[in-house]
Amino acid sequence: MKLIECPRDAWQGHHPFIPTKKKIEYLNKLLQVGFDTLDFGSFVSAKAMPQVSDTAAIIPKLDLSTTSTKLLAIVANERGAMEACAFEQITYLGYPFSISETFQLRNTNSSVEESLQRVDAIQSLCIKNNKKLVIYISMGFGNPYGDLWNPDIVLHWVKKISEYGVKIFSLSDTVGLAKTDDIKSLFKHLIPTHPDLEFGAHFHTKPEEWKAKIDMAYDAGCRRFDGAMLGYGGCPLAQDDLVGNMPMEKLIDYTTEKNEYALLNLKALSDAREMFLHLIR
């Protein structure tokens, strides 16, 4: 199992502003843990997401010398992608492609069709700058706005976007609506149909629903999972009430249950957890 820790998703909607120095200390501790990837920041509008406005200032202070953990930054348009590509420390650019027209407008101020054009431009930048693009299929399991959703819509957009050469897709349960049958069905269709692509799960979940969601995705062949310390955070642009992220602690326990042993530094993990509790107080 690949574990992607997402402090960016945990704190992007948090108020007040967390001092940059404290973020750097926390991120450096997370880099010691041994996660596959750290979703650490965003190159997006500072007005829309002030908490991540210091991403560029953070990068030079991150110690990547003794870790294999790779950095992922979220971008919302070509401008943000160009900024992210300027940093050789970043391996992945993540772009939220919503299959809900309403959320695409709320999240990136573009229509779905305009968003597809952005995917094309961002993928071109990634190829030119030796980066990898991760497409997050936002509202991948439904939406709270009444926009049409069904599994065929997800399959259509994955196929369409893969034609641009994108190889990594993460299905996002943006507001925690995913039904277990839909999770199983989507991954069971996508993974065998696209053996050359990597599929992940970015779940937002209520505490009592986390395991059922992971079970369905894992049993259908998914091995890439996003989480955040203590299950904190959510997307502030999706709806007023945030639905927390998948707790990273639960994912780590799950790797043991499935004999998917992750080589993690548990002391660093414990220290990071304590640091995070102080950050959000």
CB atoms within 10 A of CB 181: 10
Helix %, strand %, coil % for the chain, to 5?
45, 20, 35
- Cβ neighbourhood burial of 81 (10 Å; 0-12, 13-18, 19+): buried
Which range marks the domain in which residue 180 is found? 2-279
Tell me what pLDDT residue 243 has. Answer: 58
Tell me what pLDDT residue 206 has. Answer: 83
pLDDT digits (tens, 9 = 90+) for 137-147: 999 999 888 88
Tokens standing for residue 202: 């970015």
Higher pLDDT, 28 or 207: 28
CATH code of residue 70: 3.20.20.70
Tell me what pLDDT residue 210 has. Answer: 93
Task: Mean pLDDT check: name the lowest of 17-31, 93-107, 116-130.
Answer: 93-107
Over range 142-161, report the average pLDDT: 93
Over range 175-201, report the average pLDDT: 95
The torsion angles phi and psi of 129, rounded to 5 degrees, stand at -110, 15
pLDDT over 60 (residue 225): yes
pLDDT over 90 (residue 207): no
pLDDT over 50 (residue 239): no
% of residues, the chain, pLDDT over 70: 96
DSSP letter string, 149-179: --HHHHHHHHHHHHTTT--EEEEEETTS---
Q: How confident is the model at residue 235 (pLDDT cuts 50, 70, 90)?
A: low
pLDDT digits (tens, 9 = 90+) for 90-114: 999 999 999 999 988 887 888 999 9
Q: How confident is the model at residue 240 (pLDDT cuts 50, 70, 90)?
A: very low
Q: How many structural domains compose the chain? A: 1
Q: How confident is the model at residue 185 (pLDDT cuts 50, 70, 90)?
A: very high
Over range 164-193, report the average pLDDT: 94
Tell me what pLDDT residue 208 has. Answer: 87
pLDDT over 90 (residue 263): no
pLDDT digits (tens, 9 = 90+) for 44-83: 999 989 999 999 999 999 999 999 999 999 999 999 999 9
> CB neighbours of 71 closer than 8 A, spacing ≥ 6?
37, 38, 40, 59, 62, 64, 89, 90, 91, 92
Over range 182-194, report the average pLDDT: 96
pLDDT over 80 (residue 237): no
Tell me what pLDDT residue 238 has. Answer: 43
- The amino acid occupying position 218 is Y
Tell me what pLDDT residue 234 has. Answer: 60
